[in-house]
Each structure stands twice: as structure tokens, then as C-alpha cells.
Structure 1
Amino acid sequence: MSDTIPATADVTQVSQLLQNGSGARLIDVRTEAEFNQAHIPGSRHVPLSTLRKNVDELASTPQDHLVLVCAAGPRAEQARQLLQTAGFSRLTVLRGGINAWEQSQAPLHHGSSTWTMERQVRLVAGMLVLIGVLSSLAFEPLKWIAGFVGAGLTFAALSNTCAMAKVLSLLPHNRARRCDC
């Protein structure tokens, strides 16, 4: 890679950056459950939800090139914008996130089998829809549970936010306990 810091980089570019001794640091902004399930070796875990509180720790070496990683890219982009506002200038988002990294068969550390937030949301949404449909057989107005979940998922996709994920993140096994800065 050249001296120019790209806003995004693909797996090959990030791999080259890490191998060339440039001092780039990987910052994984996913939830603790996601990070524990699988992460790029050598990456530091700083969940997006705690990033604002940990900016000072990351700023200990502000000249470092930070490569931000999430599952697919949107949360890493949010982190890039937050860090840019805090004065960081050498920031790159891994295009496609950990999903692209895994698809390219790049090295990945696999850990605990805690479900990712996305999988937890799919389970809860699916269960609510199923319960709504089945219970509506006994009491017809309960069909609206399924409609409410569908509307929520549609809004989540359009706004790139997820209220259900925010609620599920409050569960003890989903809470970020620390910053590995």
C-alpha cells in the first residue's frame, strides 16, 4: 500500500498492510460475543458501544494506522467517523469486515460458541413471529405480533439500526466487560 491512507481496504490490502511492518493496528468494534466467537489474530477488541469512552487509550499512539473491523463494515464505518471526529486521521475500514476476511480464508482465531448478535436477533424475531402466528389460531388479534416484528425488521434494515439488538445487548453474556487496548 502507498503512503496514502485509504478509507476502506479489502482483505488483500489489509493483509499486506499488516505484513509490511507498518505498525497498523486492527481494532475490532463488534460485540464481545462476536469477537469471542471469531476474530483476526492480533486484533484488539474495542466494542463500538464503548469506543467513545476508550478514545484516550487508543490515542496513546495517534500516529498509528488503525484498521477498523466489524462483521460487514457499517459499524466499523461508524467507528471511523467517531474517531475521525476525535482527531484520528490514519483510519481504514476493512471492506466486507470479518465476513470478507473469513471468505478469503485469511487466518482467523475461533473462540467460544456464544451466538453473534445477528443470530440472536434472528432467533428472537423468528420465535416472536412463530408465536404470533400460532397463538393467533386461538386468539386472532395476536397475528399482529408477527406484523410488529416484520415492521421492526423492515425499519432496522432501512435505518441500519436494530432496537432488538440493543435490547439483547443488555443481557449479561452480551455486555462488553473491558477494552483490550
Structure 2
Amino acid sequence: MTAPSALSTDEARSRLHELTVIDVRTPGEYAGGHVPGALNIPLDRIERALPDIRGAADRGDVLVVCASGARSANACRILAEHGVDTATLSGGTGAWAADGHDLDRPQGAAPTVWGMERQVRFTAGTVVLLGLLLGLLVHPAFQLLSAAIAAGLVFSALTNTCGMAVLLGKLPHNRPRGADLDRTLEALRNG
């Protein structure tokens, strides 16, 4: 399957009024700042939203966004497998903000302290360090923790997925409010 088409931040900004923008990050990440007008449909719920996304694609172009572009590329592939043509934002919201474009935040939402990538790096590093220390101080078998994390990171790189991010995304601080998928889908239907 071919890679999804990508829009630069400047292209997306100039076409924002004519795009349906779907942010596939966790609700916590979305609350921390998103492309203006973006609707939050987390990646793990994209197939449930498929009929409404298809309807939006029938009415115009759909842009899928995440933090860096990896999750949105995965979402675009899933949607393409179901016959829905979409594009992704090159570099995601990180590139959007770096290029000086404003991010919207829901009313009263505090910015997320750490993005998901940073949380994954911190957690992986902590478990590796803990495995090494416990392996030296308690029992060598604890070094298997470090080996498991290393194997997970290799698998993550090869498959362009991240199981740890999925798990961390379920923690309460990453879901400050539940993703109101029904309300989001209603907004998507009404264009």
C-alpha cells in the first residue's frame, strides 16, 4: 500500500477552511493543543467512526493529524483500506506549532505537561534502569525487564506502532475528559 498523501503545515493552514481535520491523538494530547477546528477521534476508535469519516470525505478533503505524523499515517492507511481517501499533516502538531501556527485548546483545559513521546521515553528509560539496578542488587533475573523493553522498542521501530503509548494513553492523566465520540461524530456529520 502506498504512503498517504501529506500536506505541509503552510498548505494545511491555507486550506483549513475547506478541510475536515481529524486529530487521532488521545483526548489528553488533544486538550493540550490541536489544529484549529480539529475533531478528536482517537486512533483506537477510528474504525467505529468510519461511516462518519467516509461521509465527511464524500463532502470534501479530510486531513488526519497527530503529534508527529506517525499515528495519522497509520489512521490514513486504515481509512484507505476501507476506501476513504485522506491526507496527513507533515510533522503533525509539533511541526504546526514549530512553524508558528496557533494551537487551540478546549475551554478551561490546561496544557498537557508531557507529550506521549516524552512519556514513552521516560517510562522505557525508567524500566530499563530499574531492571539493571534490581539485576545488580537483588537478582540477575530482573535484567529481563531491560531486555523486554529493548525488544519492545525494536518491535515498535519496525512496525511503526507503540504498545507502550497505547497503554500510557489509557492512564487518567492522559484522559482528562473522556473523548465524547458521539458528540464528535455528530459534529462530523453536520460538517
TM-score by length of 1: 0.83
Report the secondary structure of 1:53's partner residue: coil
Paired letter, 1:136: G
Identity among equivalent positions (%) equals 35
Cα 1:177/1:15, change in 2 over 3 Å: closer
Unaligned runs of 5+ in 1: 1-5
- The alpha-carbon deviation at position 109 of structure 1 amounts to 2.2
Give the corresponding residue for 1:13: 11
CA contact (8 A) 2:63 2:89 kept: yes
Query: When the two structures are aligned, how many residues end up with a matched partner?
Result: 172
Are residues 1:72 and 2:51 paired?
A: no
CA-based RMSD: 2.1
Paired letter, 1:34: E
Are residues 1:128 and 2:130 paired?
A: no
- The alpha-carbon deviation at position 162 of structure 1 amounts to 1.8
- The alpha-carbon deviation at position 105 of structure 1 amounts to 1.0
TM-score by length of 2: 0.79
Distance (Å, rounded) in 2 between the aligned partners of 1:32 and 1:137: 39
- The alpha-carbon deviation at position 10 of structure 1 amounts to 0.5
- The alpha-carbon deviation at position 52 of structure 1 amounts to 0.6
Residues 99-138 of structure 1 mapped to structure 2, 5 A cutoff: 99-110=94-105, 111-114=109-112, 115-138=114-137
Distance (Å, rounded) in 2 between the aligned partners of 1:35 and 1:105: 18
Distance (Å, rounded) in 2 between the aligned partners of 1:133 and 1:147: 10
Are residues 1:24 and 2:22 paired?
A: no
CA contact (8 A) 2:40 2:179 kept: no
Unaligned runs of 5+ in 2: 186-191
> How far does the alpha carbon of each residue in 1:90-114 deviate from its partner, in whole angstroms, 9 at most, with x for none?
x221111111111101111254243
Q: Which runs of 4+ in 1 moved over 4 A?
A: none
Distance (Å, rounded) in 2 between the aligned partners of 1:135 and 1:117: 27
- The alpha-carbon deviation at position 164 of structure 1 amounts to 1.8
